[in-house]
């Protein structure tokens, strides 16, 4: 049995933050969950995917976050406890549904787990999604540790049912991807079957209904603020004239810093774990006991803005620090040393600078630019496009996925990128105002997520562009999750349908559609030349399994290659045009690392002297 399904209350396990979230949801009686995968939230869904095979939990990978929220909204309004999981930028996609779902509300608990990514470890921006709570009127909970996130999940479901509203649990990467001891609680048996009661005058958001629902939402928001003041997740510890207000993982940094600086007797800390609505009255009382206050929060000055407003309402005049050039930045993650330094500066406390470690004998870490995997078929596709467009002025919008890594030279497969699916829509715009030929790239999973509407737009408006769909039969970048184009029988899964990208594209009405196998360079270049020369919308579907997934599924791969020194003229076309990480230089000559070469043979087809040949023995 999956370790998170075991009924072992009272036991302590070392869990990843995302595992603790999943366990907390199971303890709360979660029966229905949906997601579109995205780091740093991916492991939550991966665990639900596994647990669904061994329990009554229903779980699905939806086509995008909006759909995921819609299916969970239906389940929750049928009386089934549900959960929707996404990374922070996914909230932008889900927002259309969420903003009005806040009006409609829920009948059973619905938790929206949103994982923010300060420092953008794997994201295109570091937006602070607490503002979505403020914008939508939904409550937000923010845990500070791996153990607390397990505890907070059952509370989130209860809060959702008390308010009859979805509840946002906002985490950050440092919580999602840390490991810590977790004390397990009891598992509530899930209610898996619901009952939908028709009530169109409260559930169908025509204007006359929505006007009433908005009034109800604001009343529930008032109720939520009372609960925020009473919540055990908004607590104060310590006494003294100096106040620190903190949330999330920064709470641990602050607690350590106060102890390290020896100011425990002078400092009181307000930890905000129920951050929307902010606990206004409780914070006013806290501020009244302070001579000086510092707000420590990663991201935007969300709490700081509220605290300044509360101080004004209370008629308090006291220094309030937070985001400022000499204090905390709106950029990136915080760390314990930085937080300690800023606290010392704000409260004018002597800080004994840490003695830097002597690293003089540690060699410099080699720089490693982002790169596609050895044998990745996307490299072959990008190379083929470059060959097909030699001498041609082009613009190449790219999209969100591992193929984004092709933007670096020598492949240079990316000129513009803003969000999931944007390569198609922006491609339409570029094609209309530029004379350059537009070749847009999008992955298979991203195409299903949000690329289809852009392609329909291109067909309807007859834009002149080529869309290359990089179909590696999985959602590769976030951990090989399935999507509607995946043949689930290859993964040993039954009961799923499958959507053919080729049939879908033709069904939309794309006038020129071709399918290539990227490892066959000559045929791929020819097909791409034909597609790019076509006036109007053309689509090229580049089909080849992701090499990492193929290896994990024990699929047969090719024999690794080597460079024959007798034939090699050291032109280095292989390195200069492909930059496969299997290449390395030795004595100023190109060599191939057979341990990572997948035998795709693309470099052998590129070499003008046919100097790249298979090794004799199969690895």
| 544-562 pLDDT, tens digit each | 999 999 988 888 778 899 9
Per-residue pLDDT of 506-522, as tens digits, reads 999 999 999 999 999 99
Residue 139 domain flag: yes
Do the beta carbons of residue 598 and residue 375 sit within 8 Å?
yes
> Is residue 619 over pLDDT 50?
no
Q: What is the mean pLDDT of residues 364-385?
A: 91
Query: What range defines the domain where residue 203 resides?
Result: 11-230
Per-residue pLDDT of 29-50, as tens digits, reads 999 999 999 999 999 999 999 9
> Which segments of 28-140 does DSSP mark as H helices, in order?
42-52, 65-76, 90-104, 130-136
> Is residue 220 over pLDDT 70?
yes
Provide CB contacts within 8 A for 51, sequence distance 6+. Answer: 2, 4, 5, 22, 26, 57, 59
Residue corresponding to tokens 């329909």: 456
On whether both 399 and 478 belong to a single domain, the answer is yes
Within a 10 A sphere around the Cβ of 12, how many other Cβ atoms? 11
Residue 426 domain flag: yes
**Neighbour order of strands in the sheet with 82-87:** 58-61, 32-35, 82-87, 110-116, 167-172, 140-141, 274-276
Cis check: omega of the bond before 602, within 30 degrees of 0: no
Of 494, 611, 599, nearest in space to 563 by CA: 611
Phi, psi angles (nearest 5°) of residue 443: -80, 165
The two three-digit tokens of residue 43, written as one number: 């492991």
Which residue has better confidence, 204 or 366? Answer: 204
Provide CB contacts within 8 A for 228, sequence distance 6+. Answer: 139, 234, 274, 276, 277, 278, 279, 282
pLDDT of amino acid 334? 97
> Is residue 200 over pLDDT 80?
yes
> Is residue 99 over pLDDT 70?
yes
On whether both 416 and 489 belong to a single domain, the answer is yes
Do the beta carbons of residue 537 and residue 454 sit within 8 Å?
no
Residue 491 domain flag: yes
Per-residue pLDDT of 443-482, as tens digits, reads 999 999 999 999 999 999 999 999 999 999 999 999 999 9
Q: Kindly provide the b/e burial profile for residues 132-141, where b requires at least 16 CB atoms within 10 angstroms of the residue's own CB.
A: bbbebbbbbb
* Helical pair 90-104 and 65-76, crossing angle rounded to 10 deg: 30
Residue 449 domain flag: yes
Phi, psi angles (nearest 5°) of residue 388: -70, -20
Residue 357 domain flag: no
pLDDT of amino acid 355? 82
On whether both 18 and 150 belong to a single domain, the answer is yes
On whether both 341 and 381 belong to a single domain, the answer is no
Residues pairing with 180 in the sheet: 15
pLDDT of amino acid 374? 95
Residues pairing with 116 in the sheet: 172
Helix (H) or strand (E) holding 274: strand 274-276
On whether both 19 and 166 belong to a single domain, the answer is yes
Q: What is the mean pLDDT of residues 180-191?
A: 97
**Residue after which a domain boundary falls, among 230, 250, 285:** 230
**Residue after which a domain boundary falls, among 184, 213, 230:** 230
Q: Got the DSSP string for 130-179? A: HHHHHHHT--EE--SSHHHHHHHHHHHHHHHHHHTS-EEEEEEHHHHT-E
On whether both 599 and 490 belong to a single domain, the answer is no
Number of domains in the chain: 4
Residue 363 domain flag: no
Average pLDDT, the chain: 96
> Quick one: what percent of the chain has pLDDT higher than 90?
94
The domain that holds 536 is classified in CATH as: 3.40.50.970
The two three-digit tokens of residue 341, written as one number: 């330094």
On whether both 207 and 289 belong to a single domain, the answer is no
On whether both 498 and 390 belong to a single domain, the answer is yes
Residue 359 domain flag: no
Q: Got the DSSP string for 27-39? A: HTT--EEEE---T
> Quick one: what percent of the chain has pLDDT higher than 70?
100
The domain that holds 577 is classified in CATH as: 3.30.70.20
On whether both 571 and 506 belong to a single domain, the answer is no
From CA 73, how far away is CA 104, in angstroms rounded?
10
pLDDT grade, residue 368 (50/70/90)?
Answer: confident
pLDDT grade, residue 617 (50/70/90)?
Answer: low
Do the beta carbons of residue 40 and residue 19 sit within 8 Å?
no
On whether both 490 and 599 belong to a single domain, the answer is no
From CA 299, how far away is CA 613, in angstroms rounded?
52
Within a 10 A sphere around the Cβ of 166, how many other Cβ atoms? 27
- Radius of gyration over alpha carbons of the chain, in Å? 27
The two three-digit tokens of residue 88, written as one number: 């922070």
Residue 224 domain flag: yes
On whether both 399 and 462 belong to a single domain, the answer is yes
Per-residue pLDDT of 279-332, as tens digits, reads 999 999 999 999 999 999 999 999 999 999 999 999 999 999 999 999 999 999
Q: What pTM, to 2 d.p., does this model score?
A: 0.94
DSSP letter at 549? Answer: H
**Residue after which a domain boundary falls, among 553, 569, 589:** 553
On whether both 185 and 299 belong to a single domain, the answer is no
For the stretch 117-120, contacts whose Cβ atoms lie closer than 8 Å and that sit 24 or more positions apart, written own/partner, are: 117/39, 117/40, 117/87, 117/88, 117/172, 117/173, 118/172, 118/173, 118/174, 118/298, 118/299, 118/332, 118/333, 119/173, 119/332, 119/333
């Amino acid at each position: 049995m999956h370790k998170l399904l075991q009924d072992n209350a009272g036991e302590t396990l070392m869990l990843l933050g995302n595992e603790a979230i999943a366990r907390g949801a199971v303890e709360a009686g979660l029966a229905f969950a949906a997601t579109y995968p995205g780091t740093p939230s991916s492991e939550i869904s991966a665990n639900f995917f596994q647990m669904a095979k061994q329990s009554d939990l229903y779980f699905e990978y939806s086509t995008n976050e909006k759909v995921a929220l819609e299916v969970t909204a239906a389940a929750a309004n049928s009386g089934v406890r549900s959960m929707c999981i996404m990374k922070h930028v996914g909230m932008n996609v889900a927002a259309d549904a969420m903003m009005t779902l806040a009006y409609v509300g829920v009948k059973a608990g619905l938790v929206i787990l949103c994982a923010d990514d300060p420092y953008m470890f794997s994201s295109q921006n570091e937006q602070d999604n607490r503002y979505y709570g403020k914008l939508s009127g939904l409550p937000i909970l923010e845990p500070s540790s791996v153990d607390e996130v397990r505890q907070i999940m059952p509370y989130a479901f209860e809060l959702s049912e008390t308010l009859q509203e979805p509840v946002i649990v906002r985490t950050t990467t440092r919580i999602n991807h840390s490991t810590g001891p977790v004390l397990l609680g009891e598992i509530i048996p899930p209610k898996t079957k619901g009952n939908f009661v028709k009530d169109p005058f409260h559930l169908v958001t025509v204007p006359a209904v929505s006007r009433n629902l908005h009034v109800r939402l604001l009343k529930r928001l008032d109720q939520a603020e009372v609960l925020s003041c009473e919540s055990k997740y908004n607590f104060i510890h310590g006494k003294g004239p100096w106040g620190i207000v903190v949330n999330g993982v920064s709470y641990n940094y602050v607690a350590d810093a106060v102890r390290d600086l020896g100011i425990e007797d002078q400092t009181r800390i307000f930890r905000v774990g129920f951050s929307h609505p902010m606990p206004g009255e409780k914070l006013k009382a806290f501020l009244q006991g302070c001579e000086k206050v510092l707000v420590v929060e990663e991201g935007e000055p969300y709490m700081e803005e509220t605290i300044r407003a509360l101080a004004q309402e209370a008629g308090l005049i006291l220094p309030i620090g937070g985001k400022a050039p000499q204090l905390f930045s709106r950029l990136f993650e915080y760390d314990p040393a930085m937080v300690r330094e800023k606290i010392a500066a704000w409260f004018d406390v002597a800080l004994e600078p840490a003695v830097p470690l002597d690293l003089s004998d540690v060699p410099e870490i080699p720089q490693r630019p982002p790169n596609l995997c050895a044998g990745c078929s996307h490299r072959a596709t990008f190379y083929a496009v470059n060959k097909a467009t030699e001498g041609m002025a082009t613009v190449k919008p790219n999209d969100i996925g591992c193929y984004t890594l092709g933007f670096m030279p020598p492949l240079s497969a990316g000129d513009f990128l803003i969000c999931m699916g944007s390569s198609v829509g922006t491609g339409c715009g570029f094609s209309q105002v530029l004379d350059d030929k537009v070749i847009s790239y999008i992955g298979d999973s991203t195409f299903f997520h949000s690329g289809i509407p852009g392609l329909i737009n291109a067909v309807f408006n007859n834009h002149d562009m080529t869309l290359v769909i990089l179909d590696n039969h999985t959602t590769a970048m976030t951990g090989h999750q399935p999507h509607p184009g995946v043949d689930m029988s290859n993964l040993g899964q039954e009961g799923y349908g499958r959507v053919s990208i080729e049939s879908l594209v033709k069904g939309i009405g794309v006038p020129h559609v071709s399918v290539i196998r990227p490892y066959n360079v000559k045929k791929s270049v020819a097909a791409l030349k034909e597609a790019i020369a076509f006036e109007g919308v053309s689509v090229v579907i580049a089909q080849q399994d992701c090499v990492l997934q193929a290896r994990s599924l024990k699929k047969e791969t090719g024999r690794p290659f080597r460079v024959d020194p007798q034939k090699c003229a050291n032109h280095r076309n292989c390195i200069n045009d492909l930059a496969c990480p299997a290449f390395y230089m030795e004595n100023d000559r190109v060599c191939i690392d057979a341990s990572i070469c997948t035998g795709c043979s693309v470099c052998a087809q590129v070499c003008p002297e046919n100097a790249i040949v298979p090794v004799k023995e199969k690895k």
